[in-house]
Structure 1
Amino acid sequence: MADMVGAALRHGLRIATLLAALAIVFGLGMANLLRHLDSYETALAQFAAMAALGAVLVGEVALLVRGRSWHRFRRLAITVVLGASALSYAALPDGRTSTTVDWVFGAANWVGVVVLLDRPLRACVAFLLAHELTALLHLLMFDDPTQRALARFATGSVSVVGFPLCVAVMVAILRHLGEVAAAAHVEIERVRASEAASAEAHRRRLQRYDELSVATIPLLEGLADGSLDPEDPQVQRRCAIEAARMRRLFAEADSVADPLLHELRHCADVADRKGVAVELDARGRWPVPPVAVRRDLTEAVLTVLATAASRARVTVVGGEDLVSVSVVADCDEVTASNPVSAGVQVDALRHDGMVWMEARWQPTS
């Protein structure tokens, strides 16, 4: 927003400067030229200088309409302006520097500022000094540099340099304010993004705490106060299930290509640590399930793995329209929790000391 406001202000100031230059060149400058036409030995040179300045202003109008700047043609335009000023002074009658006969003295300065308005301030200052130096050299070399002539030149220079310089300074200030505003806007957005990230991280921590408080925290409290016996197989099984759930919860925050397989590996690691040989096989390619769906798909696996005695095999098969996660292990009969996500179904079968459990998800259903 700050960039847009600054650009609009600079654009408006560019239009205003162009209008002022047009009025000065074709209004005041042309009036002085025609009024003193008989004073010039070579009037054609004055008209050529006027035409050169007019061509530069017409170019500025065309660029402004098309929303462009001078860019690589800027040096050519400044050369034309200074050349027009030199041509006018070359044909200027002696003793007329900085008078009404010297129409280019108060006209070429505005044309140059129009061309250099979007450049750094030092560029406008250098041009105005070059324009002043051209007039001063003509005064010193071809006129009688009397005290009156020098005073007239100094007085005229106040407006010839001062007014365009004020415009250039104003543009430079607006440009600086725009840069400061843009930097402040970037910093504000950075702070907002940081605060949003911190708030999201805090929200996730609270969510994880709420999820752990359902089963994990009561289990830990029971072990701490002695109401639960660590030697009890059922307590050990609950600990293994909660450990797998915690590993899965931490794995959900990881950035990986396949979150489902990543979380299954973490669930299998708990069983592997207690000596269960776990095989994990994956076939096919499937879309990334949402977090809630992944929890339903992995819940059956971690429940069976926590109860497995010696071996287990986890198989993931999927495609665009179906994802299946199944586990086979030698364990006691287990009961998986009911899925909470739509499109997820869980089936289980027990035979000869082996338990098979499958969770299926249909993304398109």
Structure 2
Amino acid sequence: MSDTAEEVTRAELRHGLRIATLLVAMAVVFGLGLAQLLRYMDRYETPLTQWIAFAALGAVLAGEATLLGLGRSWGRLRGPAIAIVLGASALSYVTLPDGRTSTGVDWIFGAANWVGIVVLLDRPLRTAAAFLVAHELTALLHLLLLDDPSRADLARFSTGSVTVVGFPLCVAVVAAVMRGLSAAAATSRREIERVRLAEAVAAESHGRRQQRLAELSATTIPLLEGLADGSLRPEDPVVQRRCAIEAARMRRLFAEADDVADPLLHELRHCIDVADRKGVVVELDTRGQWPEPPVAVRRDLTEAVLIVLATTVSRARVTVMGEAGLVSVSVVADCAETGMPSPAAPGVQVEALTNDDMVWMEARWQPTSRSPR
């Protein structure tokens, strides 16, 4: 919310500067420029050309006012608008009386510069400076080629150029600084967001690691400690079964962090992989479609599979069936009788049947709208 407010504030400042520059340009053109034009009208050989130049500047200012009202910039029209301003300046100088460059008669000397800055206010500073140089060169060429200037004329031109170039250039500098500050603020904001995101990801990853460690500490760590201190012997079938179960649980735990289309099947395949590595032939069959169960539910649904597969002798079959209101994971294998796991997630039920050396176990889940994700 604060970033949006800052961006709105910067946009309002840029819009305000644009309005202020337009008002200054209108005051210069329609106030001082028009007054000079009317005052020295009898000095011009062809007054019509001066009025055409004046009308051209007025049309550009009217265009800027229209664009401001529409909330738009010059876009592709910027080039033609600058061409009109420079063309009006050149047209005015063509019919300017000799020896009158940068005097009161030369009304466009202090007017066209502001009109050009109005058009180029949102452009880079070098563009505005290039326009002011072009405007100065137009007046300077007229002075050098047509006026046969004296030292006083050159001094007058140089003095007048200080304000003609300096004041509009200051406005262009302010606009450039504001754009630079906006760009720097946007870059800083993106960097802050990147750092915050990285910190959040790191914190979440650390939390997941802590959670996994807590989940493993109840069963896996005691098993590893027993193997390390010699209290548990690797050749013991019970220890081997516990190792197979913990290996499947660890693979399932790591698989939970994967971004896949069907997490339940993905985690089941990781559990089955442990049995595959022992040479057990495992068939996986899926029927129907089912909603994505939460993590806690998936653990209960796969727990029966990994417990049975841990003691399977040679072959097993895992079946996943589902519909909108039911998900079932069952396993049938040639193994000794195993303990039936107790589900922790609500809505999960486990059943088991034993017939000689064959065990069938099924975990069912009926999803509800209140099941946690």
Length-normalised TM-score, structure 1: 0.94
Matching of residue 208 in structure 1 with residue 212 in structure 2 = yes
Residues 299, 336 of structure 1: 8 Å contact kept: no
Q: How many residue pairs get matched?
A: 365
Distance 1:110 1:228 in 2: 91
Task: Pick the aligned partner of 1:130 from 113, 127, 134.
Answer: 134
8 A contact 1:286–1:319 mirrored in 2: yes
8 A contact 2:352–2:359 mirrored in 1: yes
Residues 170-319 of structure 1 mapped to structure 2, 5 A cutoff? 170-319=174-323
- Kindly provide the CA deviation profile for residues 40-97 of structure 1, in whole angstroms up to 9, marking residues without a partner as x: 2322222221111011011111112222211211111011101111222222222221
CA distance in 1, matches of 2:166, 2:154: 17
Q: Percent identity?
A: 73
Is 1:121 aligned with 2:128? no
- Which residue does 1:45 correspond to in 2? 49
Structure 2 Cα separation of the partners of residues 320 and 110 of structure 1:
71
CA contact (8 A) 2:348 2:366 kept: yes
Q: Could you tell me whether the CA contact under 8 Å between 1:282 and 1:316 is conserved in 2?
A: yes
Instruction: Please tell me the residue identity of whatever aligns with 2:81.
Output: A
Structure 1 letter corresponding to 2:264: L
Give 3-state SS (helix, strand or coil) of 1:270's partner: helix
Contact 2:281-2:316 within 8 A present in 1 as well: yes
Residue deviations 1:318-346 (CA, integer Å, cap 9, x gap): 23332211111122332333222233222
Of 341, 344, 347, 2:345 maps to 341
Measure how far apart 1:174 and its partner are.
2.2
How far residue 39 of structure 1 moved from its aligned partner, in angstroms, is 2.5
Which residue does the alignment assign to 2:170? 166
d(CA) in 2 for partners of 1:293 and 1:20?
A: 71
Q: Secondary structure at the match of 2:218?
A: helix
2:21 matches 1:11: no
| Residue of structure 2 in register with 1:30 after alignment | 34
Secondary structure at the counterpart of residue 231 of structure 1: coil
CA RMSD for the aligned pairs?
Answer: 1.8
Tell me the residue number matched to 1:152: 156
Contact 2:341 2:350 in 1 (8 A): no
Tell me, what secondary structure is at the counterpart of 1:100?
coil
Cα shift at 1:5? 4.6
Q: After the TM superposition, which of the residue ranges 92-101 and 54-63 deviates more from structure 2?
A: 92-101
Looking at structure 2, the residues matched to 164 and 322 of structure 1 have their Cα atoms a distance apart, in angstroms, of: 75
Write the distance in 2 (CA, Å) between the matches of 1:228 and 1:72. 81
Report Cα offsets for 1:276-328 as digits up to 9, x if no partner.
Answer: 22111122233322221211110111111112232211001123332211111
Q: Distance in 1 between matches of 2:241 and 2:199?
A: 41
Report how far residue 15 of structure 1 moved.
Answer: 1.6
SS at match of 1:333: coil
Q: Given the two structures, how large is their TM-score scaled by the length of structure 2?
A: 0.92
1:180-233, Cα deviation, whole Å (9 max, x unpaired): 222222222222222222211111111110000011111111222233333333
Q: Which of the residues 100, 103, 107 maps onto 1:103?
A: 107
The 1:336/1:27 distance shift into structure 2, 3 A limit, reads: farther
Take 1:122 and 1:275, find their aligned partners in 2: how far apart are those partners?
75
2:38 maps to amino acid: L
1:150-182 CA-to-partner distances (Å, cap 9, x unmatched) read: 111111110000111111122222222322222
Superposed displacement of residue 235, structure 1? 2.4
Residue equivalent to 2:78: 74
What SS does structure 2 have at the residue aligned with 1:170?
A: helix
How far is the alpha carbon of 1:21 from its aligned partner? 0.6
Q: State whether residues 101 and 143 of structure 2, in contact with CA within 8 Å, keep that contact through their aligned partners in structure 1.
A: yes
Counterpart position of 2:336: 332
- Tell me, in whole angstroms, the C-alpha distance in 2 between the residues paired with 1:345 and 1:206: 29
- Aligned partners of 1:138 and 1:114: how far apart in 2? 25
> In 2, Cα distance between the equivalents of 1:224 and 1:138?
98
5+ long unaligned stretches in structure 1: none
User: Which stretch shifts more, 285-294 or 81-90?
Assistant: 285-294
The question of whether the paired residues in 2 share the 8 Å contact of 1:3 and 1:181 is answered with: no
Counterpart CA distance in 2 for 1:149 and 1:322 is 97
Residue 99 of structure 1 aligns to a residue in which SS?
coil
Task: Pick from 86, 89, 94 the counterpart of residue 90 of structure 2.
Answer: 86
Alignment equivalent of 1:140, drawn from 144, 148, 160: 144
For 1:116 and 1:205, the matched residues in 2 are separated by 56
